[in-house]
Structure 1
Amino acid sequence: MEDWRNIMKVLITGATGLLGGHLIKELQDRGEDIRALVLPVENADSLLKRGVEVVRGDITDASSLGPAVKDVELIFHLAGMMGVWRPLADYRLVNVSGSENLYKAAQKAKVRRFVHTSSHTIYGLGYGRFMTENDPLRPDPDPYSLTKAEADRLIRRLMLTSDMETVILRPGTFFGPGDRLHFGRMAQKVKDGKGLILGRGDNALPFCYVTDIVQGFLLAAYHKNAPGNAYNITNDRPLTQQEMFDAIADAVGGVRPTLHLPYLPIFYGATVAEWVFNTAHVNFKPPATQLGALMFGSDNKHSIAKARRELGFEPKVSLREGIKLAAEWFNAGGMDQPSVTEASQHAPLAGASR
């Protein structure tokens, strides 16, 4: 990995999230000077205690970004809307317009390198083969996947005429200590004896331990080969759905799921439920969603051959080991701790008033 010797001013968006927390630790170990862009309504106490400079602003409000990007050399754009029941327009405002606002502000401030967080969902789910960076973007029709694909295309267009070194990462679904969105929910279900398997359970799940994702981000930030490229960053030795839930159940003292529900009826039922909830303008998530059914019920694998070859990326934490580490957090009452990221997902959007 290329090593930029001088201490750099680094900006992170989405710093209060799971990935942001782990990335900050690694950057502080490198001695970097870290600034976080935090929403005006967001609790930043944990960042301040860690010695992170906090600048208030909102990526959906381009006029608020000047102080955040000033004198910055490197930006990690992690912020995004996911996992909440909000309309497509809100997702687009954050994931697409917000990314464009930040990228253009970074260009104006002459930032040296910009690392953009995309998603494995941009390819679409359920192909059952190792997807590569050359595969077309065919996102499924849910707000998160659609807008992450739109933002990926946007950044790739912008970087064609930009002097700013730009890297796009397409991470797998990451988990680890502090993960309430994925691991916490899965662990709670098997702990309560309510776990179930969609279909046969022999499908690969696209999960990766959070510190391996962080490794990918550091390579994107410092490696000379990274600029101008998009990379899948995940674990290419996935567990099956059954293996994953069994391992989580064992780690948290839960019950291995034995109930199998047919995949296609659940998928189509979720599709209908989403349509009904959207039509009725219900402001909470249906019990099953299309994205959730696809994520857990279909076969999803992603190739990391390009990142391995060009950046030297190599997952270091096996998924079974990662499950044990995340389970330690869960077993210590992690789900009872207040969430710092939920507020930001439900916050009013500055750009929406325009």
Structure 2
Amino acid sequence: MKILVTGASGFIGGRFARFALEQGLDVRVNGRRAESVEHLVRRGAEFIPGDLSDPELARELCRDVDAVVHCAGSVGLWGRYQDFHLGNVQLTENVVEACLKQKVRRMVHLSSPSIYFDGRDHVGLTEEQVPKRFKHPYAATKYLAEQKVFGAQEFGLEVLALRPRFVTGAGDMSIFPRLLKMQRKGRLAIVGNGLNKVDFTSVQNLNEALLSSLLATDSALGKAYNISNGTPVPLWDVVNYVMRKMEVPQVRRYRPYGLAYSLGAVNEGLCALWPGSPEPTVSRLGMQVMNRNFTLDISRARHYLDYDPQVGLWTALDEFCAWWRVQDAR
């Protein structure tokens, strides 16, 4: 099978492209940074550089491939709606149209469980529990991108969407590096009582889910799937585990949720007024994420994708810490 992996210069796309090569698949990759995919090219991947906002490039990327794993997109807690729309919706539209024009058989779309987040506690969320309104442009545009993907079914494209929660392992730049930096500066505090449980996903488990999506039978098609390790854990236990492994002082200060939320609002207001509108280190959404229970029901993935997460969270965290020590030393 020949596949295209978009966003291969990023964490999830890069890790899956490498995994797919190890499984013997013929892999073409696209990403924003050529230096970040050199290791994939050395392993046999074909690299085609360029920006997916160009429909012509998207069509070239999809030429003569059997399936596309679409990992490219805009992420973050801060930014303008139009930027998220370009990175998540427009790019996905271009890839979908390219798949249809080049007669690609299947598209696996990397979505996000952030679409569920409404600022409240949620335990065991199912794929149908999508709110009527979204808290953030990232969530709104990720859901809209999903709808673009599912809309292509009527034209013959086989589609699936995965919603993995808090993916970590070697290469993770989105979760723990920021927290480590804040704690080293003494700016990190436990929000609320510190007992809120959340889901994490080992990137190795996500790789298996993505591969299963490429090989899944007809009954699995046309659905969105929650992906996690399936074992919710207290968020701040996880944070402090990483702090201990990295020999950084553990987080012991507590901050009431109301105060943390207010500080986030003030910080956002100041950053909005500052030239260039830099991303705030503390935001209202960030404080909600750090305070709320947020867990997923993964029974649909278990049933249709035969998803059976084998790599535990602590193993994934050890992998991250070993990798991050090397990055920190550079």
- Whether the 8 Å contact between 2:9 and 2:32 is mirrored in structure 1 is no
Measured at CA, do residues 98 and 195 of structure 1 come closer, stay the same or move farther in structure 2, by a change above 3 Å? same
How big is each residue's C-alpha offset from its partner over 1:48-87, in whole Å with a ceiling of 9 and x where there is no partner? 2232111122222212222100001010000011137432
Is residue 2:106 matched to residue 1:113?
yes
Aligned 1:37-76 pairs, distance under 5 A: 37-39=30-32, 44-76=37-69
Distance in 1 (alpha carbons) for counterparts of 2:270 and 2:152? 37
CA RMSD across the alignment: 2.2
The aligned counterpart of 1:239 is: 233
Q: Which moved more, 1:315-324 or 1:297-306?
A: 315-324
CA distance in 1, matches of 2:133, 2:195: 23
**Structure 1 316/190 Cα, relative in aligned 2: closer, same or farther at 3 Å?**
farther
Matched-pair contact (CA < 8 Å) for 1:10–1:34:
yes
* 8 A Cα contact 2:191 2:255, kept in partner: yes
Q: Would you say how many aligned residue pairs link Structure 1 and Structure 2? A: 328
Q: 1:42 to 1:284 in 2, by over 3 A?
A: farther
Cα 1:187–1:280 shift into 2, 3 Å: closer
* TM-superposed deviation, 1:88: 1.3
* 188 and 274 in structure 1: CA distance in 2 versus 1, 3 angstrom threshold: closer
Deviation for aligned residue 1:41: 7.4
Rounded to whole Å, the distance in 2 between the matches of 1:249 and 1:10 is 38
- Residue 161 (structure 2) pairs with residue 158 (structure 1): no
Q: Do the aligned residues in 2 keep the contact of 1:177 with 1:329 (CA within 8 Å)? A: yes
CA gap of 1:336–1:253, structure 2 versus 1, over 3 A, is closer
Q: Distance in 2 between matches of 1:289 and 1:149?
A: 22
Percent identity between matched residues is: 28
Q: How does 1:309-324 map to 2 (within 5 A)?
A: 309-324=303-318
Q: Which residue of 1 aligns with 2:86?
A: 93
Q: Which residue of 2 aligns with 1:345?
A: none
Q: Is the Cα contact below 8 Å between 1:172 and 1:206 reproduced in 2?
A: yes
Q: Contact conserved, 1:192 with 1:255, CA < 8 A, in 2?
A: no
**Normalising by the residue count of structure 2, what TM-score does the alignment of the two structures yield?**
0.91
Structure 2 CA distance for partners of 1:49 and 1:290, relative to 1, 3 Å: farther
How far apart are 1:216 and its partner, in Å?
1.2
Aligned to 1:103: 96
**2: CA distance between counterparts of 1:84 and 1:131?**
21
For residue 255 of structure 1, what is the aligned residue in structure 2? 249
**Is the Cα–Cα contact under 8 Å of residues 4 and 69 in structure 2 kept in the other structure?**
yes
Residues 165 and 180 of structure 1, relative CA distance in 2, 3 Å threshold: same
For 1:202, the aligned partner's letter is L
Which structure has the higher relative contact order (CA within 8 Å, separation 6+)? 1
The aligned residue for residue 328 of structure 1 is: 322
Say if 2:29 and 2:46, in contact at 8 Å, map to a contact too: yes
